[in-house]
Amino acid sequence: MAIDLEYDPHVVTLIEKTRAFTRDYVLPIEDKFVGNVADAGGDTCRVEMQAAAKDAGVFAPHAPVEYGGHGLNMSDRAPVFEEAGYSLFGPIALNLGAPDEGNVHLLAHVASAAQKEQFLAPLAHGDVRSAFAMTEPAPGVGSDPSALMTTATKVDGGWKIDGHKWFITGADGAGFFIVMARTSGKPGDRGGATMFLAPADTPGIRVGRHITTLDKAMIGGHCEVFFEGAFVPDENVLGAVDEGFTYAQVRLGPARMTHVMRWLGAARRGHDIAVAQVAKREGFGSVLGDLGMIQKMVADNEIDIAATRALLVQACWALDQGSKAGNETSIAKTFAAEAIFRIVDRGIQMCGGMGVSDDLPLARLSREVRPFRVYDGPSEVHRWAIAKRAVGAAKRAARDE
């Protein structure tokens, strides 16, 4: 019981193995998809990479040991996920990408034994992919959870789901959905939501178009999904009825942090590439990397990387102590999403024309990381939540005086 920042030797080993696997095996595969990282190579590529990850002993570091994973807590996931994120394809190869990784986390904490067998086990092993069907087009649920419009109506033996979701990551090709639907109340009410487990082949579930976005590397895309009288049996209610947002919290904080871990890895790759370039290119009578304005960008990247990592350590430790860590994860996510974008953007600038071209991966990385300032809560919503806590505490303190 004193400050200790040293990882256990078995974690250190896993970090190193993950680094080697990502750089030696995964990156060359990603590089073959230049100009077309859409879908991260698709499921064929995924299955092949995941088999290799199992052979290398690096598969599913976060999944429970009984489901073939390494059972790492949040603190230990941070450096491992960062290494996997060094390639855009790494998270898929190690089965720790969004949304599957968050769904594994959620199911491990909330699912019944039977649900675990039916849904968690194949997901953890990489036999299927999944999707988390929450977001709806305006005026539906987005940053403001109370706006939920999709309904689940009680019918004999189960529930009938109707609604329109979009930006459902990984929907195309998912084996099942975790669907958030309203079981009581009306849009504007904060409660009344329930989570359902719905196999993708359920009649009345239809995956629509891929919404094309700046980022391309998410397997299964960001899709529209239509629920048209889709029947889900009672045993597929995840947790208790009307408690959906409570469980969403279980997933939310950790999922924010694992996003940060992965994108930090991507940002570091961008930084490494840019530093390697300026360390060898010459101009104005000097190696570029010895020029002050370039040094400033290099240093600012190093600072942003260190601060992101340091905030991750704090937030993950709070989560591991059992806290919801709403403030810690909002702070870390907001800082990280902006820092990660800056890091890659500076990397582009350091590389000039090469930086904006596909001759280096920087332009691609910048497209991939930009949406993170919007996904998982826009920076503005997190700042609002952070400020509400601080100002609210000050209001209470003033009242108590």
Q: Hey, which residues between 348 and 377 contact its own copies (CB under 8 A)?
A: 348-349, 352-353, 355-359, 363, 366-367, 370-371, 373-375
Dihedral angle of Cα 376, 382, 384, 387, to the nearest 10 degrees:
160
Judged by CB under 8 A, does residue 28 bind its own copies?
no
Binding of its own copies at residue 20 (CB under 8 A)?
A: no
Give CA–CA dist 393/395, Å, rounded. 5
The C-alpha atoms of residue 63 and residue 56 are separated, in whole angstroms, by 16
How near is the Cβ of 295 to its own copies at its closest, in Å?
4
Contact status: 13 vs its own copies (CB under 8 A): no
Q: Take residue 16 and report the two structure tokens written for it.
A: 């190193």
Question: Per rule CB under 8 A, is residue 143 in the interface with its own copies?
Answer: yes
Tell me: does residue 384 bind its own copies (CB under 8 A): yes
Q: Answer yes or no whether residue 38 interacts with its own copies by CB under 8 A.
A: no
Count of chain residues binding its own copies (CB under 8 A): 100
DSSP label at residue 12:
H
Burial of 214 from C-beta contacts in 10 A (0-12 / 13-18 / 19+): exposed
Position among 290, 342, 347, 400 found at the interface with its own copies (CB under 8 A): 290
When the beta carbons of 111 and 131 are compared against its own copies, the nearer one is 131
Q: Considering only 110-118, 179-187, 226-234, 389-397, which stretch makes contact with its own copies by CB under 8 A?
A: 389-397
- Binding residues among 159-198 for its own copies as defined by CB under 8 A: 166-167
Tell me: does residue 27 bind its own copies (CB under 8 A): no
Pick the closest to residue 95 from 48, 132, 36, 28 (CA basis): 48
Which residue, among 211, 197, 196, 325, has the nearest Cα to 260 in the 3D structure? 325
What part of residues 82-121 is at the interface with its own copies (CB under 8 A)? none
Minimum distance, C-beta of residue 246 to its own copies, in the bound complex (Å)? 21
Q: Is 51 in the site for its own copies (CB under 8 A)?
A: no
- Please tell me whether residue 48 binds its own copies under the rule CB under 8 A: no
- Check residue 165 and give left, alpha or beta (phi > 0: left; psi -120 to 50: alpha): beta
Would you count residue 302 as binding its own copies (CB under 8 A)?
Answer: yes
- Which tokens sit at 155? 């019918």
Which positions from 222 through 261 interact with its own copies, judged by CB under 8 A?
222
> What's the rounded Cα separation, in Å, for the pair 358 and 7?
37
Which of 215, 236, 245, 254 binds its own copies (CB under 8 A)? It is: 215
| 306 makes contact with its own copies (CB under 8 A) | yes
Beta strand segments in 35-172, E = 130-133, 151-155, 158-169
Distance CA 236, CA 198 (A): 7
- Tell the smallest beta-carbon distance from residue 155 to its own copies (Å): 32
